[in-house]
Chains A and B, each alone.
Chain A
Amino acid sequence: MADNPIRVLIAKPGLDGHDRGAKVVALALRQAGFEVIYSGLHRTVEEIVQAAAQEDVAVLGLSVLSGAHLPIAQKLMGRLRQLGFQPVVLFGGNIPRADIEALGALGVEGVFPTGSRFDDIASFIRQRVGTESAAAGRDRRR
């Protein structure tokens, strides 16, 4: 796996500037052997989608602490569908347990609220992306 690491984009959508969680998860995933790109702050959904497609990432993780996760997820998933580019989408941050189901219904595959364990995030990604598709050049275009 070290030869062909899974590519992950960790992104901060919208105006929320609390990036401790995003950076910490990015560092943890890098430590766990993933190839991690971090978007920086204040990205629009469109910028994030473009960056994800351009970098051809297998995983797109968004960190939201402002409470705006549902409208952001809605916009993001719609745009990804339009482009026919569908990485494994994860959400993290200050997300009430009650909203996890709604995010799932929008197509978000994993939700890791504040306090989630790095190991859980890493093994979730490995399981979802699978060593097979990682070896096949991470091509998740459908």
Chain B
Amino acid sequence: MSDRLEEVTLESGISVKPVYRPQDLAGTDPDLDIGLPGEYPFTRGIHPLMYRARPYTMRQYAGFGTPEETNQRFKFLIEQGQTALNVAFDLPTQMGLDSSDPLAEGEVGRVGMAVDTLADMEVAFAGIPIDRISVSLTVNAVAAPIMAMYFVVAENYGVPLAEVRGTAQNDILKEYIGRGAWIFPVEPAVRLIGDTIEYCCRNAPKYYPVSVCGYHIRESGANPVQEIAYAFCIAREYIRGGIKRGLAVDEFAERISFNFDIHGNLFEQVAKFRAARRLWARIMRQEFAAQEPGSLKLKMIAGGGGSGLTIEQPENNIVRGAYYALISALSGAQTMALCSYDEAYTIPTEKAALISLRTMQILVEEMGLRDTVDPLAGSYYVEWLTSQLEDRILQELRRVDSSWGGILRAVERGLVQQEVAGQAWQHEVGIQRGTIPKVGVNRYRMQEELRQVELHPYRPEQAEASVRRTARVKAERDPERVEAALRGLRQAAADGTNVMPAALEAVRAYATLGEMTGVLREVFGVFKEPVAL
């Protein structure tokens, strides 16, 4: 081998050889480790025919200021062929604050739709065929009350709870690591997740109550190994919670899905997902004695991540998005989404969101990615890398358990946060020094003119409209019923019974999200963030 060749080391710390040969697969058993699509350990995909039978679901994140505008964008996306919806809520909603709360000032409707009461959700979903379109709610700390609102919308549509489909993000542990929309301390927050899992398992069996997010952990600076390892630690925590409530693992594990991130090295990402599927199946079988194939299968949305995109030469992000979509398709994702090319500047414009959707559609329609399952299987490099990544993910997972005392403690004490922030800093140093190549940033940089980007200006009248609607709702609701419902919620929160029935009653009584969250805050307190850097 020529000594002029530079070392190649992936983000995961794995060194890549210039050439791979059959003997590199000596440690990989073709039957036990690779197997067939749709069969344990699902390295090649969770369905026997994958996209040949059904293409991936395309689900762009959308949600605008008012429920009316959100409703219009939903209808537009459905008309354009999008097969599922992903709802963005504004920050006050994500933090359990009503639009009239002083802390919500300047934020109402800014990054998504404002929801105070059931009335807002009724407007947002008016005329949307929620019996056919699966809706994903991007909400975490207040997932229980928001999920309750969605269930009541379905109920009023005449869709029985047992038939309601969709997902809630509802992964609070990752909020403490990245994204930051937490309210309550770790333990009660995780207990709320358990309440939703238990409630859905018994009453809404077609609903996916939790989507465990490696995505935001990686967006916060984690490498691909940590992304999967921390997400798995979090998922194991929720599964243990379900088991503690007396549920059998095979009753609910099938309904826990994952949300992962795509940016960086193409082969490393594809191998990451193949390794993740295999390791998850092994964990479910070995650690939780799961039997049902549904419990063993890692179902995922794998989406193009924003942190791979650049402010510089933003049109290049369209190309990056296309590669991310390709990675997602080569990885066997069930659902795909892309950050849009203007996302470094703003909430995607309609044009940018449409380009993302078309990118995914072009892959499905024109590029042959549906023709055969897991086309990279058997590649010496990809199979070798898959095995390497599986080993490293498992090592990292064990480190969380043994050195940090598990993910709950690690999050409470800020250890994961510190690790991830340190890496984010190192990554940024690498980009600024040019050791991590980034086209348009540290390679092929150009003098760029000040760009006129179509922005979404903040409209205070949105906040006023939201406040007015809620005031009207409050004037018309039955105050005694609200009072009793909030008492019931407080009681359930305090004595440890499942909060979901009480939350549903509060929603039906048109209690506000702020009122419900306020009750929970009184009982649970708030998280004290460890801010050590």
Contact = CB atoms under 8 A, between A and B. Distances in A.
B371 interface: no
A23 interface: yes
B424 interface: yes
Tell me whether chain A's interface is mostly helix, strand or loop, or mixed: loop
B311 A24 contact: no
Contacts of B240: none
Contacts of A80: none
Contacts of A6: none
A131 interface: no
Given A44-B103, A96-B455, A115-B311, A38 B531 contact: yes
A102 interface: no
B457 to A, nearest CB: 9
Nearest to B182: A17
A46 to B, nearest CB: 11
Interface string A16-58: 1111100110111010000010111110100000000000000
B421 interface: yes
A113 interface: yes
A114 interface: yes
Interface in B138-180: 175, 178-180
Given A15-B103, A17-B179, A97-B451, A67 B219 contact: no
A66 B531 contact: no
A18 to B, nearest CB: 7
Interface stretch (B67-75, B105-113, B272-280): B105-113
Contacts of B531: 38-40
A117 interface: yes
Nearest to A65: B111
B364 interface: no
Contact of A94 (B103, B179, B345, B456): B345
B113 to A, nearest CB: 14
B344 A94 contact: yes
B269 interface: no
Contact of B94 (A15, A18, A114): A15
A96 B429 contact: no
Contacts of B344: 94, 114-115
A110 interface: no
Interface in A118-134: 118-119
Contacts of A97: 450-451
A36 B533 CA distance: 10
Contacts of B103: 15, 44
Contacts of B479: none
A12 B208 CA distance: 33
A16 B219 contact: no
A56 to B, nearest CB: 19
Contacts of B429: 28, 118
Contact of B428 (A16, A24, A67, A72): A24
Contact count band on B: 35 or more
Contact of B421 (A27, A42, A72): A27
Nearest to B221: A20
Contacts of B179: 17-18
Contacts of B424: 20, 23-24
B386 interface: no
B345 A27 contact: no
Contact of B106 (A38, A40, A72): A72
A118 B531 CA distance: 21
Interface string B191-219: 00000000000000000000000000001
Interface string A86-128: 0000000010111000000000000001110111000000000
B85 interface: no
A18 B180 contact: yes
B421 A67 contact: no
Contacts of B450: 97-98
A70 B455 CA distance: 14
A98 B106 CA distance: 19
B432 A118 contact: yes
Contacts of A18: 178-180
B346 A96 contact: yes
B422 A71 contact: no
A16 B181 CA distance: 8
A94 B110 CA distance: 13
Given A17-B182, A68-B107, 10 more contacts: A15-B97, A15-B107, A19-B421, A27-B421, A27-B422, A94-B345, A96-B346, A96-B453, A98-B452, A115-B312
Top 8 A-B pairs, shortest CB-CB distance: A17-B180, A71-B106, A15-B91, A40-B531, A23-B421, A27-B425, A40-B529, A115-B311
25 contacts: A15-B97, A15-B103, A15-B104, A16-B91, A17-B181, A18-B178, A20-B307, A27-B421, A27-B422, A27-B533, A28-B425, A28-B429, A36-B533, A42-B180, A44-B103, A66-B107, A66-B110, A71-B106, A72-B106, A94-B344, A96-B345, A98-B452, A113-B311, A117-B432, A118-B429
Interface of A: 12, 14-20, 23-24, 26-28, 30, 36, 38-42, 44, 66-68, 70-72, 94, 96-98, 113-115, 117-119
